[in-house]
Amino acid sequence: MASTSPTQNNASDASAPDDAGASTADGGTPDATAPTHPEQTWHLTIAYDGSAYAGWQVQTKQKTVQGELRTRVRLLFRSPELKVYGGSRTDAGVHALDQQVSFTAPTPPDMTPDKLVYVLNRWLPDDIMVLRARICPGAFNPRYDNAGKAYTYCIAPGRRVNPLFARFVWRTPRPLAVPAMREAAALLTGEHDFSSFAANPGYELESSVRKLYRLDVSEQHGLIFINAVGESFMYKMVRGLAGYLVHIGAGHAPAADATRVLAARDRSQAADSAPPQGLFLAKVFWNDDEWRHYEPLIPPFTLI
């Protein structure tokens, strides 16, 4: 373990910050004789630019968002076996505005939500930020307790964009027919078997039927935004939908082809998935009807 304070240029350095307070014996590296404290379950909301990460989930010898956060939380709470849970397992290169996280740890009495946010943000690399923290019931797990999610996919149709934002969009070779994309999106909305749009997750699914509440295509500032709102999503399903809508917009198939692709239940019948850099986990919902009032942030990278 490194013994120096973390810097912006070394995201893997996991030494404790000087102001970690009661979570360390002397404000620095935790000692093995630390007193025990009652366990509390914490709920964090975080945002991140996923460009430099191999996704959310911890992977051997790969830098991930979960790994960066878990390393620091384990040290801060002196809990080397602590587990960190995420509400969405975003892929490599995918970003998040509203990732939900939970963990349970022995918590000293002076560790408040505001202090936890402050200390972790002092400690984490600049491309990960804790937005909020709260103490919640011990059984809380954001992966299973949410009521749905919203994703936004960003496209630059046949045009260059400001280089400061280029890593957040998919630049297609030519302009796209947005009315055709909208027509296809309407056919894909609802409860369907989305096997044709999801990648193999490496394990058997109980069902490939999902309920897609909304699939909107909008234009602003010369960019195209695909907003997908649903109860749950399969592996790479949103990128599969985005890739197919671009396929329609480019004139490679009529909008009505969406019905055929859905019925096929065969991934090879749809287009290639959209690349990861344009995708944002935009919102996680906690109430069944919350999605009805949801308005996506356009463009989503204004907060990154």
For the annotated catalytic residues, the residue numbers are: 91
Cα(138)–Cα(54) distance, integer angstroms: 29
Secondary structure (3-state) at 37: coil
Cα(212)–Cα(150) distance, integer angstroms: 10
39-48 and 128-136 strand pairing: antiparallel
The token duo for 26 is 């002397």
- Single-letter amino acid, residue 197: F
Residue 30 parent element (H or E): none
Report cis status (omega within 30 of 0) of the bond before 299.
Answer: yes
Closest CA to 103 of 63, 64, 130: 130
- Residue 259 Cα distances to 120, 187, 188, 217, 274, angstroms: 47, 7, 8, 18, 20
